[in-house]
Structures are given as structure tokens and as C-alpha cells.
């Protein structure tokens, strides 16, 4: 199991050595956007990525399989891994945590690169500049320069390369790092979808994985790379913590984890609640608003729109996922109330 997981994590040099991936596959596939004549077609922009998609799906499968075998080695010593069903749940969790953490890391590294490029002195300054770039653009006047990041000569606003000044550029700007992230997400969500159907996770998970598969496919046109750095990247930081929390759930996870590590569960649950509120409860709706605003603008005024259908599909998919965030946020609040109520009751019982 350890060997399989190690191969999955560090498999890229091996895939190149055996000839499955070309040595220059990264530059060949991701340095430039697909030909403009393919934009707006259904599947043409994804052609050429098939081998890499299959490679990423195999990595996910190998991680899942390796974790399952690794847990099998401790099944007689650890109750949480005693049965095949429990090992299956835990091994899927390992796969989800590793892949989601990798996506979150890629998104954060994209944002870090922009932060360094812009030369911001602090995070508040970065937030102020990005908000101004999204709301005002470079049409700032002397009266509102105080709330806008000035250019180096102090005569006007400083445009950001990664937050272009028009809706068209914000939605069609190409980013090689995000293009690769889209391919990884497409492959990973196919594996997740197959797992959800096989293990009967429920309709909401099937819908979620299906929506992300469609969006990640059509993001390759390229489309929505700027906003996608959050929705496919940074937002997965909170999802990574969720994947860990889910393993402690008595109904969908492994009950022995909750029994044996109650304090760990509470700490991780608290971290998840905070991360979900910040990432999904604040940043998600904030960027959703600007994304939909830009989408409506190009639908109304952009003669170079690549596909009206796909723009509407993206907006519909994002709104569908946003509704799911509200549902999940409500479930988190109810769960927190339940947990806090149980802790208070336990404290009162001990005091009595």
C-alpha cells in the first residue's frame, strides 16, 4: 500500500520515463491556449488532454487503492480499519484529502504569485486593490483615489495584469496554471462521480461532481480562469478540512474515529467551521456576484462571446453550487448547535 501511494504521488517522472507522457508535455499542453477556432465547441478544446486526464484518474485510483491496502495491514490492531467497508471509507478519505489539498495548494500558489507580482505591502492593501479593480477599474477619479491603489507616479490607478479592466478580458484571460488545474479537477471529479454512484453517496454528491465535471471541461476553452483560481483552487482548502471531518461522522464516516479521538474531531470541526465560513460564506458569494456581473455584461454587449449557451451554463452551474453552499452552511450551523448543546449538557451533568 505504501509503495502504491508513493508511486501515485511521485508518478510523473515515471510516466515520462516509460513514455506514457512526453517529456515536454507540460509546455506542449499548457503554455498556450487551445486554438481560438475551437472555442465555443463542445469538446474540441479538450482534445490532446486525453492521456493526461487518464493519468490523473489513475493517480486517484492508485491513491485510493494504496490507502486501502495500507489500512489492511493494521486491521487487526485498529478497530477503525477492521472491516473492508471501514477501510474503503478511510481510503476514499485519504484520496480526497490528498487531491483536494493539492488543488487548494495550486490555487493558493497562483494567488501568492499575483501577490508578489503586485508588490502589495499587506493583505488589507491587496484586498483593497483587488476590490477596487473589480468595482471601479481604471476609471478612478481624484475623489476616490484614496480608496484605490495609486500608480507608481501617483497620477492614476494601477491596473492589475491578473484582474483585467473589462469583463471580456476577466473571463477570457488565459492562465497556464489554471488550465492544468482544470484538467486535474476534471479527472478527479470523474473518479469521485464513479465512487459516489458505486457507494451510493446520495443525489446531491452526484449533482455536485457532475456540475464540476462540465465546468472544468469547458474552462479549457479557455474561460473563467481568473475566477476559477478561487472556485477550483483556493476554495478547496476548506473542502480538504471537510474531507477529514467527514471521516469522523457516525453515519457517513467511521464511528470508531469519533469514539477514539473526540477532542481531535472537535478541533478539526472547529477549523472546518471557521474555514468554511470565511472561504465559502464570504469569499464565495463575493466572487460569485462579480462573476455573474461579468457574465451578464458579455451576454449583453460582447460581440466576441464564444458561446452564449456555455456562458449561461457556467453561471447556472455556479449558482447551483452556491445553493449547495447555503444548504451545507445550514447543516454546519445545526451541527454546531447540536455539538455545543451536548457539551453544555455534559458539563452541567459533571457539575451536578
Mind listing the pLDDT tens digit of every residue in the chain (352 residues)?
A: 889 999 988 899 999 999 999 999 999 999 988 887 777 776 777 778 999 999 999 999 999 999 999 999 999 999 999 999 999 999 999 999 999 999 999 999 999 999 988 888 888 888 888 887 888 665 444 444 344 455 555 555 556 778 888 899 999 999 999 999 999 999 999 999 999 999 988 898 898 899 899 999 989 888 999 999 999 999 999 999 989 988 988 777 898 998 888 888 888 988 988 898 899 889 999 999 999 999 999 999 888 888 899 899 999 989 988 888 788 777 777 776 776 666 556 655 555 5
CB within 8 Å of 217: residues ≥ 6 apart: 43, 46, 182, 186
Three-class DSSP category at 18: coil
pTM of the complete model: 0.85
Which DSSP letter does residue 249 get?
-
Instruction: Identify the CA nearest to 168 among candidates 41, 289, 298, 312.
Output: 298
Amino acid at each position: 500500500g505504501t509503495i502504491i501511494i508513493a508511486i501515485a504521488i511521485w508518478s510523473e517522472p515515471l510516466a515520462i520515463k516509460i513514455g506514457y507522457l512526453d517529456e515536454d508535455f507540460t509546455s506542449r499542453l499548457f503554455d498556450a491556449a487551445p486554438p481560438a477556432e475551437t472555442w465555443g465547441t463542445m469538446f474540441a478544446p479538450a482534445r490532446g488532454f486525453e492521456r493526461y486526464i487518464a493519468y490523473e484518474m489513475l493517480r486517484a485510483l492508485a491513491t485510493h487503492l494504496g490507502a486501502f491496502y495500507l489500512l489492511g495491514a493494521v486491521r487487526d490492531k485498529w478497530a477503525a480499519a477492521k472491516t473492508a467497508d471501514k477501510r474503503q471509507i478511510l481510503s476514499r478519505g485519504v484520496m480526497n484529502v490528498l487531491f483536494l489539498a493539492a488543488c487548494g495548494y495550486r490555487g493558493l500558489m497562483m494567488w501568492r504569485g499575483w501577490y508578489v507580482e503586485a508588490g502589495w505591502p499587506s493583505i488589507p492593501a491587496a484586498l483593497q486593490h483587488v476590490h477596487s479593480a473589480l468595482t471601479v477599474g481604471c476609471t478612478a477619479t481624484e475623489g476616490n483615489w484614496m480608496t484605490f491603489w495609486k500608480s507608481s507616479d501617483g497620477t492614476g490607478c494601477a491596473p492589475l495584469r491578473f484582474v483585467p479592466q473589462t469583463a471580456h478580458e476577466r473571463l477570457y484571460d488565459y492562465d497556464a496554471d489554471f488550465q492544468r488545474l482544470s484538467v486535474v479537477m476534471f479527472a478527479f471529479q470523474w473518479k469521485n462521480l464513479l465512487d459516489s454512484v458505486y457507494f451510493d453517496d446520495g443525489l446531491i454528491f452526484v449533482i455536485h461532481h457532475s456540475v464540476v465535471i462540465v465546468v472544468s471541461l469547458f474552462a479549457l476553452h479557455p474561460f473563467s480562469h481568473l475566477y476559477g483560481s478561487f472556485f477550483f483552487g483556493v476554495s478547496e482548502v476548506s473542502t480538504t478540512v471537510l474531507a477529514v471531518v467527514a471521516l469522523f461522522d457516525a453515519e457517513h464516516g467511521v464511528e470508531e474515529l469519533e469514539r477514539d479521538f473526540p477532542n481531535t474531531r472537535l478541533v478539526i470541526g472547529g477549523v472546518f467551521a471557521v474555514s468554511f465560513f470565511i472561504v465559502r460564506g464570504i469569499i464565495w458569494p463575493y466572487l460569485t456576484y462579480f462573476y455573474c456581473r461579468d457574465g451578464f455584461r458579455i451576454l449583453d454587449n460582447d460581440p466576441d462571446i464564444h458561446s452564449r449557451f456555455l456562458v449561461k451554463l457556467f453561471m447556472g452551474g455556479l449558482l447551483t453550487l452556491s445553493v449547495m453552499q447555503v444548504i451545507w452552511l445550514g447543516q454546519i450551523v445545526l451541527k454546531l448547535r447540536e455539538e455545543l448543546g451536548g457539551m453544555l449538557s455534559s458539563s452541567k451533568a459533571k457539575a451536578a
